[in-house]
Structure 1
Amino acid sequence: MSKVFTEKSSVILMLLLVLVTGKSFANEVIKVSDNFYHIDDKKRIIVVNQKINNENSGLNEYKSKILLDKTYELGEPTNYFDQTKSYIVKFDNVSYTLYFTELPIININTRNTIVDAPSVFADFSISETNGNVSNYAVGIEYRGGTSQSRPKKSYELSFLTDTLSAASRDVSFLGMRNDNKWNLQALYNEPLRTRSKVSNELWLDMHSLYYKDKEPEAKCGISMAYTEVFVNNEYKGVYALSERVDRKQLKLKKYSNSITGELYKGSYWDKPVVYSGLYDFNNSKLDWGGFEYKHPDEKTDWSNIYSFVDFVINSDDQKFNEEYAKKFNIDNAVDYFILLNLLRAGDNTGKNLYIAKYKVGEPYYYVPWDLDGVFGTDWTGGNSSYTEDILSNGFYDRLLKDRSATGFCSKLATRWRELRGSVITEEYIMAKFKRDNEYLKNSNAYEREMIAWDEYTYKDSGMLYIQVWLKNRLAYLDKTFGQYESVLSAKTSQNDLLKIYPNPASSYLLVDCGSQSYELCMQDINGRVVKAYTLTGRENTVDVSDMPKGMYIATLKNNKETIKKKVILR
């Protein structure tokens, strides 16, 4: 068959298709700009993050080809590319799976072998669906301890002016900080690839540094943003580009002829890092007792943190209770203890945790790190469905013994009730998980993750698992933290002692009646009685799941007094 005859036949066929189907094949080739497509020839996948659907084009204008590095034939012509779907395209009888994604794509190319250390030179580019493209020279190395044993590796990136001078340069990505150091988190041990990001967001929502007024740009944790990564034209899957915990992030004071700000990382398990034992340090080394020395660079001196660990372990009860709030920021200690137990972050009681000091004379405080084995998973990524325990370390063990009116337990109970009305609710937390899950799912990222990593399987049931786990965990913490009350003055009224929480609530209320019994009457804003209960004993769980959302008056009455409290159900 002659080439001329074939071409004429194709034209005739197109005309017949237009007549029969009403589909137009004018401008049948769609072109993607060079920076917005990435091809893995081994896995036979193509990922595009350029917005190419034209809302003004007619629905009958079908495309049968796509121009990338070459022109590929679509297996089936289409007039709209859906991110939730995949498409088969061919070139020279070789089939590829074509995807469209909303995620930024990072492309890294290097002629060197990437290792743990030292970093090697590479070219880095990032393309965003808004059309932004950035190119940089970087140094790249693997990061993390346990993560390096996994097939999907995390990376540390150092941004450079060029590969000749290797001078550092600060860059900013996706609304995050301006800095020369960035991490690419592999998320390999997270079944939904969402737990780390949600956990770090929750910390930023619930806590801010006590010296924020002096250092407005200081952050008490890190922000993260999803990306997809190619390394040397190999698709590596979904990653989180993240900020780092360092002096710059926390705005710690710099070294000035002597140590001012301090920063240590809990890098491995040992007695000092969990306050269970003490031994001498060596200033010629950058690690001691599970801690890694991070700041300052100019001088290594372990004596300050040694003294604090010594104080926690060896001071008598009177001295400890009198002085701990001067040595460690108590509000930070409370918030981190709540975060630790909300997430049930078993790998973060000493290891995977930073301890910092803003400047000389100021207290230490905690900064969370590597929040992955959380929300019902362990450090391997496997399910850990147990919810009824409290995580601690030697420092918190001592704090929990302080039941004074203004002590740790009193602050813990007050802060828990406060957060249960805002950040720590099932609805608020699950909304974050749903947002990220749908973002990845709607870009088909989970399907590509399964192509990239044979060991990974995405399960829709993962969201339900988190929700059930969270509901059970919150119920347990409500009961447990409700017991951490101060030993208050005998003059304190029963109205002050009586507690109803969480408030706002969604499915249940916990009512702490102290030592008395009450009749509880729930009235709506019109005064109508919706429900009534008899409460006995200190703790009572009241089911309100079948009550309409809104504001109610909870009236508690016995033969001595009547107490009214506002309750919001949402």
Structure 2
Amino acid sequence: MLSAVASNTDTLVVASNFYHIDRQKNIIVINSGLAELNSNGENIKSHILLDSLYTFDQTVTGVATNASYQVKLEGESYTLYFTQLPIVRITARQDIVDSPSIYATFSLAQPSGAVVTSAMGIEFRGGSSQANPKKSFELSFWNDTTGASSRDVALLGMRTDNKYNLQALYNEPLRVRSKVSNELWQDIHQIYYKNLEPDAKNGINMQYVEVFVNGEYRGVYALSERVDRKQLKLKKHNNGIVGELYKGADWQGGATTFTALPPFDNASETWGGFEYKHPEEEINWTNLYNFVDFVKNSSDQEFFSTYKQKFELRNAVDYFILLNLLRASDNTGKNLYIAKYKKGEPYYYVPWDLDGVFGTDWTGANTGPVEDLLSNGFYDRLQMDCSPNGFRDQLRTRWAALRQSVITQESIMARFAANNQFLLKNNVYEREQRAWDGYEASSTQLDYMATWLSARLRYLDGRFGAACAPLSATTAKQPALVKLYPNPATDHLTVECEATAYQLTLRDLQGRVMLQTTLRGRLNQVSTAHLPKGMYVATIQSGTLLKTEKVLLN
């Protein structure tokens, strides 16, 4: 703990667990004893004892987390900060790589004085995010230096486990979007078998920490739980596949977006963009393959009469709401999980990597207001269900209820403001700028998000609240005329359709939405000059109309 050596001395003493020094950036961060120091504010302090005796440029009688202090050691100047965030210190003898994990030591010091130390394995995590200078980490806690024996630890009130992630938040302008998005999901949705598994959680908790790696200050991270069998309380393997878990890891292949059905190989841990996660005892893609086949190829009659048995409807509704509330354009097939509690139960979605959201894309760039509905092949079909208590009916009812509580402009912006104020109060943004060249915490980001959210809610109120004509033997038929030409196309695509108003969507073969627009009138010409050359899947949708066709752009 931080304390004065004696009440009549001018020197502050800090225990080694609670000061952290970056000698390249000349930063010192201390995260314990602020209350004790400030309660003794009548004692003027001119020195602070850490690994050596440092001298304050100006004497202090108290300290604040939103300020910085200059100290010197043998003529070298350092900027000294105090923080209320937990601090993680990682020491590794080898270079950290994508895989495999390498041995390192870990300590986490909380402002309360609590310290957790452990051996662990560490590696980089994430795909495209590894190209960023600030990288995310996967942590595996060990009882030894080899990883032969794992160790469960309890960190910051999260689940007791042997694996955690450190999320870099590098593409988040204010470092708040992932945390708020995951908190929102926890308030929107509860796992449907919660009464059977009280500890089951659909999603993850995240807590802010500051990170030092081999003495280098790396800035603010989000320490988070993981999506796995333990988090979801899926049934273990027992005489065949019981619980199931798959990660949508890639757009390639089309299975994650239900736009393609490639053959599977049970000798492979990947299929159609999915990674196999559970059960570990065997790989068998048959069940998931059959579900994707059902979504993509079943008749309307079979799909609408049986989909509720195969996928949990409340989860499908809530995830569709989250996907479009956040406008999480990188999460329609990639960056999500599909799980099944046990054999005979329906599948359900688990969100993951909620960073390119609330008006930013996956790079962190502002998108501005966008009026579109994010979807995939599964949701394209669900949106055609206008039956009582069907998807559209449940969507309209659920949206109206959430708009009275969790999903309001005021409550969502209050979450952002609270997280932003916590980081500001602890001067995190100033340290983040010192750690990462080019980073600047824009003072206009909260206003931008508020404007973006207001426009998004207004648009979704209109879309989710719209009436839906019920399916019938006659209304389910497509209009006589639906044409897209020329095909191949160059700089434009002509669309002919007898529907009064309809939506045109162009997706690339990885399932990403590249163009989406609402058209009116029988004949429309849509510019495609800005799109890369290649094959696309065009979807025309209106009420009970759904037409899909491949289009080649030359």
TM-score by length of 1: 0.80
**Cα distance 1:255–1:25, how it changes in 2: closer, same or farther (>3 A)?**
closer
Alpha carbons 2:385, 2:471 under 8 Å: kept: no
Cα distance per residue 1:21-54 (max 9 Å; x no partner): xxx9941101111100000000000000012343
- Is residue 236 from structure 1 mapped to residue 218 from structure 2 by the alignment? yes
**Counterpart contact for 2:37–2:62, Cα < 8 Å:** no
Instruction: Say which SS state the counterpart of residue 256 (structure 2) adopts.
Output: helix
Bigger Rg, which one: 1
Equivalent residues in 2 for 1:531-546 (5 A)? none
Query: Aligned ranges for residues 6-405 of structure 1 at < 5 Å?
Result: 26-54=8-36, 57=39, 59-163=41-145, 166-270=148-252, 271-405=254-388
Give the secondary-structure state (helix, strand or coil) at the position aligned to 2:174: coil
Please tell me whether the aligned partners of residues 25 and 62 of structure 1 are also in contact (alpha carbons under 8 angstroms): no
Give the whole-Å Cα distance in 1 for the aligned partners of 2:94 and 2:49: 31
SS of 2:360's equivalent? Answer: coil
Residue 405 of structure 1: how far off its partner (Å): 1.4
Change (3 A) 1:484 1:88: farther
Q: Which amino acid aligns with 2:255?
A: P
Distance of 1:58 and 1:453 partners within structure 2: 35
Q: How far did residue 294 of structure 1 move?
A: 0.5
Q: Residue by residue, what CA displacement relative to the aligned partner does 1:64-100 show, whole Å, maximum 9, x if unpaired?
A: 1111111111011010111101011001110000000
Query: Residue 53 of structure 1 contacts residue 80 of structure 1 at CA under 8 Å; is this kept in 2?
Result: no
Q: Counterpart amino acid of 1:329?
A: E
Contact 1:25–1:63 under 8 Å retained in 2: no
Moved more, 383-392 or 353-362: 383-392
2:395 aligned residue (399, 412, 432): 412
Whole-Å separation in 1 of the counterparts to 2:193 and 2:438: 45
Superposed CA offset, 1:202-249 (max 9, x none): 001110111111111000000000000000000000000000000000
- Structure 2 stretches lacking a partner, 5+ long: 1-5, 473-554
Q: Matches of 2:194 and 2:202 in 1, distance apart? A: 9
Deviation at 1:162, TM superposition (A): 1.8
Superimposed CA distance per residue, residues 102-124 of structure 1 (whole angstroms, 9 cap, x where no aligned partner): 10000000111110111011110
Shift of 1:166: 3.1
Overall identity of the aligned pairs, in %: 59
Residue 353 of structure 2 aligns with an amino acid whose one-letter code is D
What letter is aligned with 2:189? H
Count matched residues. 466
**CA separation of 1:430/1:264 partners in 2, compared to 1, >3 Å: closer, same or farther?**
same
Structure 1, residues 421-453: CA drift from partner, whole Å, max 9, x if none?
A: 111011111111111101111100000000000
Q: Distance in 2 between matches of 1:345 and 1:52?
A: 39
1:487, CA displacement in angstroms? 4.2
- Identify which range, 327-336 or 453-462, moves more after superposition: 453-462
TM-score normalised by length of structure 2: 0.82
C-alpha displacement of 1:488: 11
User: Which residue matches 2:491?
Assistant: none
Aligned to 1:425: 408
Amino acid at match of 1:222: I
SS at match of 1:179: coil
Equivalent pair of 1:265/1:355 in contact (CA under 8 Å): yes
* Cα-to-partner distance string for 1:178-201 (whole Å, 9 max, x where unaligned): 110100000000000010000001
Higher mean C-alpha deviation, range 133-142 or range 48-57: 48-57
CA deviation after TM superposition for structure 1 residue 59, in Å: 4.5
Q: Pick which of 480-489 and 422-431 moved more.
A: 480-489
Contact 2:96 2:122 in 1 (8 A): yes
2:537 counterpart residue number = none
Tell me the C-alpha RMSD between the 2 structures: 1.6
- The one-letter code of the counterpart of 2:46 is S
Q: CA deviation at 1:386?
A: 2.6
Q: 2:44–2:61: 8 Å Cα contact kept in structure 1?
A: yes
